[in-house]
Chains A and B, each alone.
Chain A
Amino acid sequence: MTDPLSDLERLALAAILQIGPEAYGVSIRDEIRDRTGRDVSIGSLYKAIQRMEDRGYVSTYVGEPSAVRGGRAKKHVRVEAEGRRALEESVRALGRMLAGLDVDLEVT
């Protein structure tokens, strides 16, 4: 049984999967904004990532520093198998809740 995901965690997980290896703070934030129009702060994103890291849903690793970041490294994020399962579980739960409702949604 996996811990249920919060809204932000679900968005972040999906964004990381969309981006792939280049997933880190700014790119995840951009992905969420571009796809949903939501403006989340970098800080709350990191908080969500910390929480998911504690539960083994994602792992992080430190990348190379770059000039555009003022010589600072990126913190890359990767979704683990456990995280993918949690996302699927979460979406399925939502689907079951919505089944039969007159809502124009298509959930896989």
Chain B
Amino acid sequence: MTDPGPPRVAIRLIRALLPAEERDFVLGDLEEDFRRRADGEGRRRATARYLYDGARSALSLMTRGSREGMLTGWGNDLRSALRVFRREPGFALVVVLMLALGVGGATAVYSVLRGVVLSPLELDDPDRVVVVWGRTPEYPRMPLTVGDHKALAEGVDAFASIAASWGNTALLVGEGEPRQVHVGWVTPGYFDVVGAEPLLGRSLVAGDLTAVVISHGLWIRAWGADPDVIGRSLRLPEGSFEIVGVLPPDRNPNLSSFAGVRTSYDVWRLQPPEWLEGEDRSVGWLRTTARLRDGVTLAQAQAETDALMTAVNRTVTERDGGTDLRVDLVGAKEDLVGEVSRTLWILLASVVGVLLIAASNVANLTLARGEARRSEMALRATLGGSRSRLIRQLLVESGVLAVAGGVSGLAVASVGLSGLLALAPPGIPRMEAVGLDWSVLAFAMGATGAAAVVFGVVPALRFVRGDLSRALVGRRATPDRGQRTLSRALVVGEVALSLTLLTATGLLLRSMSGLDRVDLGLRAEGLMTFAVEVPEWGDTAEDAAATMSAFIEGMASVPGVRSVAFTNRIPLGGGIYTGTYRSEEMVAGEAPTLEASIRWVTPDFFTTFGTDVLMGRAFRVDDDPAVAILDRRAADRLWPDGSPLGRRLQLSAVGEEPQWVEVIGVVEPMKHAGVAEPAEETIFRPMLTAAHRQNFRYAAVRVGGEPLAYVDPLEDAARAVDGDAVLARIRTMEDLVRDDVAATRFAGFLLTVFGGVALLLATVGLHGIMAHSVRRRTREIGIRVALGAERRQILRKAVASGGVLVGSGVVLGLMASLGLGGVLRSVLFGVEPSDPASILGACVIMLTAGLGGAWLPARWVMRLDPATTLREE
């Protein structure tokens, strides 16, 4: 052929624009016309005409609607898509189930994340509220001293307002049965700072020393939501108080939490002004909260605070926690949920991984099924079904499956969410804000949509690019290389994701078993704790000691009770009570003070908690505050060599002058802040002789058998001492320990579930693709076997090809695990993210399951008779 056709570029361009069914005919016509014109008008004009005609033709073929009619087409597609449930119920069921599992799981976890972490705090303009913490090298989070609080209140211009709070408990009398209430002590303007104005009445203002604001909950419980409660009186042991305000519901103005517990104060009182007098810096006890001025960023406020603290530190010679105190401003929400948010994000990422695996499986199923339907599609294309029309039908079909999966997913999510809420540990703040709402619904739709893109659009695109006429000619032809690569890539991705999840699961499980083995410094079983509230303990040291001794004797005489003790703080029960200390030698050398946790205890405390006395002795009834017992950590700190017994140290706690005490014993360290936290250096002081000046009085009772069975007899014994006595916050020590590690357990449990589901789905996916590929090659295998190939050899080859997929997935997953391990660090205990045992274990499980998934279908074909396989289509 001497006569050249149109320029190649032009042909390609037009070719790409034309729909396949008329492509060749139109191109032929255009080219024929081109040649005629080229002879008469020249190539250039002919080319221009070619492009013009071609584009015009493509446009009219594309836009004039399908020959079957675009509008009626949708209805038809929908009907035919719905038919898939009847025609292939197995396929439809598997797809819907997998999607429901993936979407449901992801939605349930997202709704927790949304309620706890993403939704704003239930306060007015909460983003401007910051919690103010002191930080020293030893204590990253320290309440502020009076002196430092005042320095900040007066010196930081970025704060629109600032307030301080502190809390204790009291006995509410006069409204029915006496009951324990939590009392929040605040400075004037506190409710403005946190953004929770009273629903009824007014806030506390300066001078309101006989007024209280009550919580919405107490208003309902004690006054039956009586709107005339304002002006009525509320009786506490110290006297009568006027109720001036009722707080709104669902708003907890207390922003401070300890060990994840955010107390809901029932009664709010004004701190007496003398509490904030002077420049005391001996003990930090104030929880400071501030509201930023409009237009001031957190960073600006932080910079101003830093500058101020640098100046303040220069003037300070002695302070709790050292003279170099830094102050951190933390957003109120971040302060409350920062720790748990990491865990929840990890869980969400894991469950989204499960969703991706499910969607990949569905994509593979759709691909395999699309391949089986290629002949059908090719036939329809030949009979006149346009390609876009067929693709549209595929997409509508995927859409119907996705909607079914998404709706079922919502059902799974609502069941899963009630499960999550039931299982969730008590330490997760704001769980009351969790629920299914519009944003969760939107998430579910998004998740479904994303899954549908993976399993619907990807196969449809394959279909666009595939050559249908070939499918019609070679009905037994293997699928094109691209499609096989795609489904293999999906399986590799699934294996990689599963391995990552399995590794994370392994790490969490190892952390959990590590937590179980931690030495708490006490024996938890058979131990119960509760607060004892009475209207009056006694004004003098003698009276208070007598009251406390009477309670101890009374409760100890209950049959089955082994020992009873009082203390001001329960281990793992929350609360911070610290002081500073120095050895005699350190005072002489003018060394800086050290910080320790201070615990007041009665003589049987160590017996009751099962804590070993390592040196010296426990307290006796008549020990006065001039003696102390150290835990081993504090003793080692002060006197690394030599016995601390008989040595002297200087101690100061809140509101006290420094005091000299003599060491009479050393005990093993006890955990206080948390099982996973290091035991704090602790100094024990004798409580009986100081029983009159305690803010908290908790009893600990060791019994034989189930502790909670003793609640009623113990309460009777307490009432025998004081008719108004109330036992509050009753907890067994085992519950306290369990709750403390509950967050890790919760994460570990969920990750185990997600990891297990991921492993199962990935194995099913691998099994599916292997079964499919083996079945497709049944005939080939039959021929090979008939020609004398060793079955074993064929089997090995089949398994090896699956092994390559599993192996690649495992390698990818390993890289991901090692790369992402650091993210997990914050939720791990006693195990490194690169822990070889966890990683190796995950690899072994994945390889075993994966190779099993590859081996089974191969073996299935091996069992067949060659004659049968040859007949197989």
Contact = CB atoms under 8 A, between A and B. Distances in A.
Interface of A: 24-26, 29, 41-44, 46-47, 50-51, 53-54, 65-70, 72-75
A43 B61 contact: yes
B457 interface: no
A70 to B, nearest CB: 4
B31 A68 contact: yes
Contact of B57 (A24, A43, A50): A43
Given A43-B18, A43-B61, 5 more contacts: A41-B59, A46-B61, A53-B384, A72-B24, A72-B28
Contacts of A50: 22, 67, 384
Nearest to A41: B56
7 contacts: A41-B59, A43-B26, A44-B56, A47-B61, A53-B384, A68-B32, A73-B25
A26 B29 contact: yes
A65 to B, nearest CB: 8
A68 B1 CA distance: 9
Nearest to B59: A43
Contact of B26 (A42, A51, A65, A68): A42
Interface in B5-33: 5, 11, 18, 22, 24-33
Contacts of A29: 29, 33
A41 B24 contact: no
B57 A41 contact: yes
Given A54-B67, A54-B384, A70-B5, A42 B53 contact: yes
A47 B70 CA distance: 14
Contact of A25 (B18, B25, B58): B25
Contact of B33 (A26, A47, A65, A67): A26
Contacts of B32: 26, 68-69
Contacts of B291: none
Interface secondary structure of A, over-half rule: helix
A25 B68 contact: no
B863 interface: no
Nearest to A54: B67
A67 B64 CA distance: 31
Contact of B67 (A24, A51, A69): A51
Contacts of A65: 28
B27 A70 contact: yes
A54 to B, nearest CB: 6
A50 B60 CA distance: 12
A13 to B, nearest CB: 17
Contact of A73 (B11, B18, B28, B35): B28
A54 B31 contact: no
A42 B33 CA distance: 10
Contacts of A26: 29, 32-33
A64 to B, nearest CB: 11
A70 B28 contact: yes
Contacts of A25: 25-26, 28-29
Contacts of A73: 24-25, 28
Given A41-B60, A44-B60, A47-B64, A75 B5 contact: no
A41 B1 CA distance: 27
Contact of A46 (B22, B33, B68, B384): B22
B25 A43 contact: no
Secondary structure at the B interface, as helix, strand, loop or mixed, is: helix
Contacts of B67: 47, 50-51, 53-54
A66 B29 CA distance: 11
Nearest to A52: B67
Contacts of A69: 27-29, 31-32
A21 to B, nearest CB: 17
A18 to B, nearest CB: 18
Contacts of A42: 26, 29-30, 33, 53, 57
Give the interface size class of chain B. 20 to 34
A25 B59 CA distance: 16
B383 to A, nearest CB: 11
A47 B384 CA distance: 12
A66 B59 CA distance: 26
B612 to A, nearest CB: 93
B476 to A, nearest CB: 25
Contacts of A24: 25, 29
A29 B59 CA distance: 17
B134 to A, nearest CB: 78
Contacts of B24: 72-73
B53 A41 contact: yes
B60 A47 contact: yes
A46 to B, nearest CB: 5
Contacts of A41: 53, 56-57, 59-60
Most buried by A among B1, B18, B57: B57
A51 B798 CA distance: 50
Nearest to A74: B28
B66 to A, nearest CB: 9
A69 B3 CA distance: 11
A67 B25 contact: no
B5 to A, nearest CB: 5
A54 B64 CA distance: 15
B60 A43 contact: yes
A22 B64 CA distance: 26
Contact of A72 (B3, B31, B60): B31
Given A41-B56, A54-B384, A46 B25 contact: yes
Given A44-B64, A73-B25, A74-B28, A68 B59 contact: no
A74 to B, nearest CB: 6
B331 to A, nearest CB: 62
Nearest to B386: A50
Interface in B36-61: 53, 56-61
A72 B56 contact: no
Nearest to A44: B60
Contacts of B3: 68
A91 to B, nearest CB: 24
B63 to A, nearest CB: 9
A69 B33 CA distance: 9
B28 A44 contact: no
Across the A-B interface, the 3 shortest Cβ-Cβ residue pairs: A43-B57, A72-B28, A25-B29
A54 B68 contact: yes
Contacts of A44: 56-57, 60-61, 64
A98 B594 CA distance: 112
A46 B64 CA distance: 11
A74 B57 contact: no
Most buried by B among A26, A46, A47, A51: A46
Contact of B35 (A46, A53, A68): A68
A46 B26 contact: yes
Contacts of B26: 25, 42-43, 46
A72 B57 contact: no
Contacts of B31: 68-70, 72
A107 to B, nearest CB: 29
A63 to B, nearest CB: 10
A54 B60 CA distance: 18
Contacts of B27: 69-70, 72
B62 to A, nearest CB: 8
B320 to A, nearest CB: 86
Which among A43, A54, A73 has the highest number of chain B CB atoms within 10 Å?
A43
B1 A67 contact: yes
A29 B32 CA distance: 12
Nearest to B21: A50
Contacts of B61: 43-44, 46-47
A75 B25 contact: yes
A54 B68 CA distance: 8
B14 to A, nearest CB: 10
Contacts of B30: 42
A44 B722 CA distance: 101
A47 B62 CA distance: 9
A68 B39 CA distance: 12
B636 to A, nearest CB: 91
